[in-house]
Amino acid sequence: MQVKSKRINFLRAASPVLFFLLVIFSLAMKKGNEGHKIAGKTHTYLALGDSYTIGEQVEAKENFPNQLVAFLNEKGIVYARPEIIAQTGWTTDELQAAIQKAAPGNQYDLVTLLIGVNNQYRGRMVEDYVPQFESLLKQAIQFAGSDSNHVIVLSIPDWGVTPFAEGRDRKQISKEIDEFNLANKSIAEKYHIHYINITESTRDAAHDTTLLAADKLHPSGKEYSKWAKKLAEAIEEKL
């Protein structure tokens, strides 16, 4: 009888501890399940831009939005096929018109914006680019559910180093590209948007033509892969 009594007393004494452990275990399981649900979510992605976004001269799977999604999916961050509003030759105002026509929603988990090279190519002023880019960026934030953490701006590539620029003032082109990038970076910082500089990477094409597509102007899938990896790293940190 004494042995049985001691066991009962032990269980009575231990029950609060056991109850506490069960509660902790239950909460941990709940949190783990919630995390699993978030990880298993299929995210949405809207890419806004021009030829550098659509991937002129390369297969669709090689442009940076599609390579980005492929990289993220491999890491278990599931994204649906990207929605792309972009076309070769577009300037900021032309992208704006296309956005109004497409009327995208406002619940994207990721929005990227890369625009401006054609403004520079056509000889337009940076002063005109600034308000147009800012307007596009504000819309990008809205498309991301008004969450600036889910928007990423990419800098404008430097086409001045490519064979296509032969016979032109390469230094002037690079100088103007830098001026446009100074403007879009400043605006991105104003709205606390993550900014990725891909310009320096594109300048490697001056001595590595494998980074260029067949037209010797636009990036190859190899170059787009570099951009996609930078974006993937940034998104992993954010999500």
pLDDT value at 29 more than 70:
no
Q: Which of 25-29, 56-60, 72-76, 208-212 has the lowest mean pLDDT?
A: 25-29
**Distance (Å, whole) CA 110 – CA 44:** 6
Beta bridge partners of 79: 43
Q: What percent of the chain has pLDDT over 90?
A: 81
CATH architecture of 42-238: 3-Layer(aba) Sandwich (3.40)
Q: What SS3 class is residue 154? A: strand
Q: What percent of the chain has pLDDT over 70?
A: 83
Burial class (CB in 10 A: 0-12, 13-18, 19+), 35: exposed
Please tell me the pTM assigned to this model. Answer: 0.83
